[in-house]
Amino acid sequence: MEKEIHILKEKLARACRMLEMMGLIDHSGHISGRIPESRTFFIHPQQLSRTEVTPDAMAEVTLKGEWVGGKMSPPSESPIHAAVYQARPDVNCVVHIHPHYAILPSIAGIDLVPVCQHGAIFGRVVPVHADSEKITDFEQAHRLARALGTSRAVIMKGHGAVIAESTVEAGFVASFHLEENARLFVQASILGKPMALSEEERERASANTYRPSSIQKAWSYFTEKGRKASIFWD
């Protein structure tokens, strides 16, 4: 169990720095992971630069939002993570980012739909939480979790996105798939109305391109890339 805990913290720290390398996290944004057989999760500290996050730096927070472990305090937006873990027993990783392309449709008041294989995993339309406010209390966080529902991601209007997944690796991969699909959606709109994938296309694409082996392949690629760019601590 101790080893499992350590692996979780290490994956979170790697994912955080990789998301930063990819421009999906900057001075803000965070990724958390549910601690197995526990009512708590790990998240990196509020004030620590996302390029400096290490496994040992993780804060431990309960699903009620109480800070119970680690030397540095968790982000004020921790209720987002806690509320999603409360609402979704299937979720073990929550990512909150401010992805440029993914929030553009919410600014223009239109639906973001899947237009490519990697977008298929987000369903017919990516749901939107209509309030652009920074979320720091549970009342707001529960509303956000309701907007997320059973989806893999929810957009916060003109603000950001929350991604909910079963593993850290999948949370990481789904995060850039969301942005990749949005970038295609927005830029195809220069040419005309983008054609959404049909239900059948979505089902086939999800089954074929989001397997554990695909997720592992993407994780390995970015880990290797990060290593070459010396973004890690080891």
Query: Where does the chain have alpha helices with state H?
Result: 2-21, 78-87, 100-108, 138-148, 168-188, 199-209, 212-228
Under the criterion CB under 8 A, does residue 73 sit at the interface with its own copies? Answer: no
70/160 with CB nearer its own copies: 160
Under the criterion CB under 8 A, does residue 14 sit at the interface with its own copies? Answer: no
Under the criterion CB under 8 A, does residue 217 sit at the interface with its own copies? Answer: yes
Please tell me the distance from the alpha carbon of residue 210 to that of residue 221, in angstroms, as a whole number: 15
Q: Which residues contact 8 (CB under 8 A, 6 or more apart)?
A: 33, 35, 36, 42, 168
Contacts with its own copies in 171-210 (CB under 8 A)?
183-195, 197, 201, 204-205, 208-209
Under the criterion CB under 8 A, does residue 105 sit at the interface with its own copies? Answer: yes
CB of 88 to its own copies, least distance (A): 25
Q: How many Cα atoms within 13 Å fall on the side-chain side of residue 19? A: 36
CB of 108 to its own copies, least distance (A): 4
Please tell me the distance from the alpha carbon of residue 75 to that of residue 61, in angstroms, as a whole number: 10
Under the criterion CB under 8 A, does residue 136 sit at the interface with its own copies? Answer: yes
The residue within the footprint of its own copies, chosen from 56, 110, 146, 150 (CB under 8 A), is 110
The residue within the footprint of its own copies, chosen from 4, 7, 36, 221 (CB under 8 A), is 221
Please tell me the distance from the alpha carbon of residue 148 to that of residue 50, in angstroms, as a whole number: 25
Site string for its own copies, 144-163 (x = CB under 8 A): --------------xx----
Closest among 24, 22, 25, 21 to 44, alpha carbons compared: 25
Under the criterion CB under 8 A, does residue 130 sit at the interface with its own copies? Answer: no
Under the criterion CB under 8 A, does residue 107 sit at the interface with its own copies? Answer: yes
Look up residue 6 and give its two tokens. Answer: 């350590």
The residue within the footprint of its own copies, chosen from 8, 59, 83, 104 (CB under 8 A), is 104
Residue 212 burial (CB < 10 Å; 0-12/13-18/19+)? exposed
**Segment near its own copies (CB under 8 A); pick from 5-13, 41-49, 87-95, 145-153:** 41-49
3-state secondary structure of 121: helix
Phi, psi of 27 (to 5 degrees): -75, -15
Under the criterion CB under 8 A, does residue 124 sit at the interface with its own copies? Answer: no
Look up residue 101 and give its two tokens. Answer: 């392309």
Under the criterion CB under 8 A, does residue 100 sit at the interface with its own copies? Answer: yes
For binding to its own copies (CB under 8 A), which residues are involved?
26-28, 46-47, 49-52, 100-101, 103-105, 107-110, 115-117, 132-134, 136, 158-159, 183-195, 197, 201, 204-205, 208-209, 213-214, 216-218, 220-222, 224-225, 228
